[in-house]
């Protein structure tokens, strides 16, 4: 290996174990830099890791995948060895394997549950890439410079390893699993252990579904389609938004989409009002629904912003269906903490919910006034993004930042 190796350890509340892990890694790889990505620990993990000789990157608490992504971009180029904070054993055979992605397989099992999460991860890897993985959840991985470029930013939470394997295989990289004599702190068959595996299973499913990249460069799962599931009358809108999430080009804004011709954005511009027209048999209602969907979509550029706008819109509309409100409330903490993204599917669908609710309560001159106000806001957003206007207006900036991770 001609380039210098960097070892990256994601850790949270590992004060009791991190020193042994860091010291062992420095002993095994004396020429490498050992970096600990501290994922918002509430104990002395960062202090202990620095005392043991590691470089520490202190991060807000977001989850394993997000911590690895934020830390990786601060590291020098070259091969990267990922390691869990509670590991015991020799990882040098991974570095010597010659694979683009070398994954450690534990030679002996310690503790654990009933294997549901592991079997699910294997099945997801097989389904998405065709690769038969022995150890789909191992956090001990050696990435060549090419593999590092192919898989970062990595998936959020505990889905990081499973999606990493899928991405590496689909990129045509050489993936090897290497059996090693390793041990780590096992999760037991108790309430805490089952809760951990439940979160792990949920993260696996989200990591292998549609993904997007946030303003911060984090790779997060799109979950906004849940609005269409909860409220079938906006399912078509959510589907059009999801198509834009998955296949959109670089076009942003109405003018760019219209100039771009047949794009997924153009499909939304035409499809959402047309669907509203078919449902309401009213041209003004169709325009109102389309504008509401577009405004919330324009606002979905920072965590929680579109959901806050949905709450305001629900008040102005005199209420929205309970299921849509329940989905918004459930998604809010995950969106604000940058664990998921609404995407166009969610923001367009929530905007359509407000629009359809407004249609039932606002008629005549009041509806025309609402259309005029929303049209003016849309045009203003074409000249200067609504997000920029919010961020430069003190009161709006404070409300916008409320509840969001730093």
- Which of residues 178, 207, 236 is at a domain's end? 207
Both 198 and 234 in one domain: the answer is no
Quick one: which of 197, 374, 387, 190 has its CA closest to 293? 374
Both 179 and 316 in one domain: the answer is no
Are residues 276 and 289 in contact, defined by beta-carbon separation less than 8 angstroms? yes
Handedness of CA 99, 217, 303, 42 (dihedral sign): positive
Which residue segment(s) compose the domain that 128 sits in? 6-207
pLDDT of residue 381: 87
- Which of residues 173, 207, 241 is at a domain's end? 207
pLDDT of residue 252: 62
Q: Is residue 333 part of a domain?
A: yes
Are residues 29 and 6 in contact, defined by beta-carbon separation less than 8 angstroms? no
Q: Is residue 214 part of a domain?
A: no
- Which of residues 179, 207, 235 is at a domain's end? 207
Both 198 and 93 in one domain: the answer is yes
Q: How many CB atoms lie under 10 A from the CB of residue 119? A: 11
Q: Is residue 215 part of a domain?
A: no
- pLDDT (tens digit, 0 to 9) for every residue of the chain, 406 residues total? 567 899 999 999 999 999 999 999 999 999 999 999 999 999 999 999 999 999 999 999 888 999 999 999 999 999 999 999 988 889 999 999 989 999 999 877 765 666 788 899 999 999 999 999 999 999 999 999 999 999 999 999 889 999 999 999 999 999 999 999 888 776 666 676 667 677 888 889 999 989 999 998 999 999 999 999 999 999 999 999 999 998 876 666 666 655 665 678 889 999 999 999 999 999 999 999 999 999 999 999 999 999 999 999 999 999 999 999 999 999 999 999 889 999 999 999 999 999 999 998 999 999 999 999 999 999 988 888 888 899 999 999 999 999 887 6
Q: Is residue 212 part of a domain?
A: no
Both 30 and 120 in one domain: the answer is yes
**Helix and strand element counts for the chain (H, E):** 19, 9
Both 28 and 175 in one domain: the answer is yes
Are residues 136 and 121 in contact, defined by beta-carbon separation less than 8 angstroms? yes
Are residues 167 and 155 in contact, defined by beta-carbon separation less than 8 angstroms? no
Both 87 and 190 in one domain: the answer is yes
Both 203 and 229 in one domain: the answer is no
Rounded Cα distance between 320 and 5, Å, is: 54
Both 295 and 152 in one domain: the answer is no
143 strand-pairing partners = 80, 101
pLDDT of residue 261: 59
Both 325 and 191 in one domain: the answer is no
Q: Provide φ and ψ at 208, rounded to 5°.
A: -95, 5
Quick one: which of 185, 165, 188 has its CA closest to 175? 165
Q: Is residue 406 part of a domain?
A: no
Rounded Cα distance between 314 and 85, Å, is: 45
Q: Is residue 159 part of a domain?
A: yes
**Residue bearing tokens 């043991």:** 52
Whole-structure pTM value: 0.84
Are residues 279 and 355 in contact, defined by beta-carbon separation less than 8 angstroms? no
Whichever domain contains 63, its CATH number is: 3.90.550.10
Both 180 and 230 in one domain: the answer is no
Are residues 64 and 82 in contact, defined by beta-carbon separation less than 8 angstroms? no
Q: Is residue 340 part of a domain?
A: yes
Both 202 and 226 in one domain: the answer is no
Both 264 and 377 in one domain: the answer is yes
Total structural domains in the chain? 2
């Amino acid at each position: 290996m001609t380039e210098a190796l960097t070892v990256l350890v994601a850790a949270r509340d590992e004060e009791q174990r991190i020193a042994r892990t860091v010291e062992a890694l420095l002993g095994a790889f004396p020429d490498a830099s050992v970096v600990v990505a501290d994922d918002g620990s509430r104990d002395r993990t960062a202090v202990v890791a620095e005392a043991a000789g590691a470089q520490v990157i202190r991060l807000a608490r977001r989850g394993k995948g997000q911590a690895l992504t934020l830390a990786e971009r601060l590291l020098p180029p070259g091969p990267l060895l990922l390691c869990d904070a509670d590991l015991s054993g020799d990882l040098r055979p991974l570095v010597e394997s010659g694979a683009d992605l070398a994954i450690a397989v534990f030679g002996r099992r310690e503790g654990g549950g009933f294997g549901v999460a592991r079997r699910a991860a294997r099945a997801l890897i097989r389904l998405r890439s065709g690769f038969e993985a022995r150890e789909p959840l191992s956090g001990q991985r050696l990435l060549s410079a090419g593999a590092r470029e192919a898989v970062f930013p990595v998936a959020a939470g505990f889905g990081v390893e499973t999606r990493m394997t899928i991405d590496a295989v689909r990129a045509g990289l050489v993936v090897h699993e290497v059996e090693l004599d390793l041990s780590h702190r096992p999760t037991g068959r108790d309430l805490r252990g089952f809760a951990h595996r439940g979160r792990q299973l949920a993260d696996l499913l989200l990591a292998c579904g549609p993904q997007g990249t946030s303003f911060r460069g984090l790779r997060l799962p799109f979950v906004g389609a849940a609005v269409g599931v909860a409220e079938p009358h906006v399912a078509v809108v959510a589907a059009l938004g999801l198509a834009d999430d998955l296949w959109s080009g670089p076009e942003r804004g109405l003018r760019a989409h219209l100039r771009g011709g047949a794009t997924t954005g153009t499909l939304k511009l035409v499809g959402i009002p047309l669907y509203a027209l078919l449902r309401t048999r009213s041209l003004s209602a169709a325009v109102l629904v389309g504008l509401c969907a577009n405004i919330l979509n324009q606002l979905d550029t920072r965590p929680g912003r579109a959901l806050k706008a949905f709450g305001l819109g629900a008040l102005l509309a005199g209420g929205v269906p309970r299921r849509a409100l329940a989905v918004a409330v459930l998604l809010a903490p995950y969106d604000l903490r940058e664990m998921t993204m609404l995407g166009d599917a969610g923001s367009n669908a929530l905007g359509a919910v407000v629009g359809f609710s407004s249609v039932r309560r606002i008629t005549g001159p009041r509806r025309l006034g609402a259309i005029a106000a929303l049209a003016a806001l849309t045009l203003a957003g074409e000249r200067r993004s609504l997000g920029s206007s919010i961020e430069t207006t003190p009161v709006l900036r404070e409300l916008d930042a409320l509840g969001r991770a730093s």
